[in-house]
Structure 1
Amino acid sequence: MSEKQFFGNYVLVWKRGIAVLTAGTVKVTPDPRIQLIDGYNLQIRDVQTHDAGNYICQIGTMVPLEISHTLEILEESAGEGEMMLLVLAKDRRPYFCILLLLLELTI
């Protein structure tokens, strides 16, 4: 099933608080660490402690459908120059969008 078939005429938006990060396939935030991958999955590179918080994936229907992902920075466990890929899911419901975090530590 294509993204057009899945979302129809609705727009998928990623938000953090009231700040819109992406709308559809358009990146709105000026933060160069944030991008969409594989369609509508949000990726944050070089995650920092101030990135902690709630990220909302929302489809703009009459009654908006949304999923909230909570990012908690627990510890920095990757070594120098290593990359760590984290996939966050708040519960076991099927998701139409995923928050991906790529941590690049330079110690």
Structure 2
Amino acid sequence: MSWICTDINVNEIEETGRGFYLNDTEYVCIPVAGEYHVYINACPHFGSRLEWMPNYFLDGKRQYIQCSRHEALFEKHTGLCIQGPCEKESLSKVAAEVRAGVLWIKLDD
């Protein structure tokens, strides 16, 4: 596994999340209490993209990640589906860390 720089300054990541492409894969970064959680941008139910609008991945109360297709709800910090057709399944989580204010993710080689 290797760490890859996303070139995304974490100060530019909105509360509602930030989508980005890297190596032909689409990801979403969700900030939670000073931490940054990254997932592959695909619902486990049908593989649908999660966002309703560009960089808007959360439900109306901004408590959960919400799938744009079937409104499934996922915990922001774990990616676990707590409501919807994929209940008890999870988003694919990607290891992430911040270095000098920039988001890095760990990818399989």
TM-score by length of 1: 0.28
- In terms of fraction of residues, the more helix-rich structure is 1
The structure number with the bigger radius of gyration is 1
Which has the higher relative contact order, 1 or 2, with Cα contacts under 8 A spaced 6 or more apart? 2
